[in-house]
Amino acid sequence: MFEPLTDSSPMPPDFPEGACNAHCHIFGPREQFPYAADAPFIPAVDAPRQALFDLNDRLGLSRCVIVQSTCHGFDNRVIEDAIAARPQNYRGIALLPVDVPNAELQRLDAAGFRGVRFNYMGHLGTRTPIEAVMTLAHRIAPLGWHLQLHGSPSMLSDLAPAIAQSAVPVVIDHIGRVDAALGLGHADFQALLRLMELPHVWCKLSGIDRITRSAAPWTDALPFAQTLIERHGDRVLWGNDWPHPNHAGPIPDEDDLARAAVAIAPTPQALQQMLVDNPQRLYRFGPLSGHTPS
C-alpha cells in the first residue's frame, strides 16, 4: 500500500490555479475493487484513491484525469468511486468493449467519464480492431467524448489513416512511446508530428521517463515534449502517470516530473494552456472547487 505523503516532502514548483494531472491511474484496494481475472498484470501493491489525492494535493494539481488500467479491465468502478469523492475536479477515461450499450455510455458520462482508451501495446492484451474502435467513435461523439490510444511507435503510422477519419478527438498517449535516443528527425516522431497537424489529434506529454535513455531530468526526452508544445500548444496535455505501471526503468521521482512539466513550457502562458486551459476544454471540468479530505 502507498503511504500518505507528509508535510516534510520536498516542495515542487508552483503550478497555475486549476492545474490538471491529466494522466494517472489507481489500483484497488483489491478487497473493494478486485483485479480482473484475465488482467495482463497485477500490481504488486495497491495504489488507492487516497494516495493519489494526497500526491495531487501536495503537488498543487487541483484537477485530475484518472485512466482506467487493464488490471481492472472493463470494471470502471474504481474510477467512479474516486470521481464521486471529488466530482467537480476529477474525471475518468474508461476501458470498454466496443459493443458497450448506449445506456452505459450515458451513465458513465453522468459519472464523470470523458473518453475511452484502447491499448495497442503488446504487453497489455488483445488489440481491438481499429475499425471497431472507429465505429464506436460515432456512438460517443454525441457525448462529447474522445478516444485515447496507447501503443508502440508503429501505431503512429499503422493507424494514421483511421485516426485521420475519426469522428471524435484522438489523444495519443506518452508522446507516442517514441525512443528519444533516435532523435527528433526519426520516422516515428515525424509520424507523430504529421498526426498532430490534424486539428482533432491531441498528445499527452506524459511518459518522458518512459521514452528516455537517461536519468532525471531526462534531457534527451525533453526536446520531444518541447517541440510538441511549441508547435501544437493548444492540443497538448500533461500527466505524471502515477503510479507508473509496467515501468521498465527506475520509478521516477514525482517532484522531478513536476519540475519537468514546467521545464517543457517555454512561457507561463504555454504552461497555463497545457495544465489548465486544454484540460478544461477536453474534459469539461466543473467550476474549480475545494474539497474535503476523503
For the chain, first and last CA: distance in Å? 17
Cβ-based neighbours of 196, under 8 Å, separated by 6 or more: 203, 228, 231, 232, 235
Active-site hit among 220, 241, 255, 256? 241
Q: Is 241 designated active site?
A: yes
Rg (CA), the chain: 18
- Cβ neighbors of 249 (< 8 A, separation 6 or more) are 209, 210, 212
Query: Residue 145, SS3?
Result: coil
Torsions phi, psi for 231 (to 5 deg):
-90, -30
Cell 459493443 belongs to 99
What order do you get walking across the sheet with 236-237 strand by strand?
20-24, 63-67, 90-94, 113-120, 146-151, 170-172, 201-204, 236-237
21 closest CA partner among 290, 276, 291: 276
User: Strand ranges (DSSP E) for the chain?
Assistant: 20-24, 63-67, 90-94, 113-120, 146-151, 170-172, 201-204, 236-237
Q: Are the C-beta atoms of 216 and 209 separated by less than 8 Å?
A: yes
Say if CB 18 and CB 283 are below 8 A apart: no
Distance, in Å, from the CA atom of 286 to the CA atom of 294, rounded to the nearest integer, reads 19
Strand partners, 117: 148
- Report the catalytic residues: 241
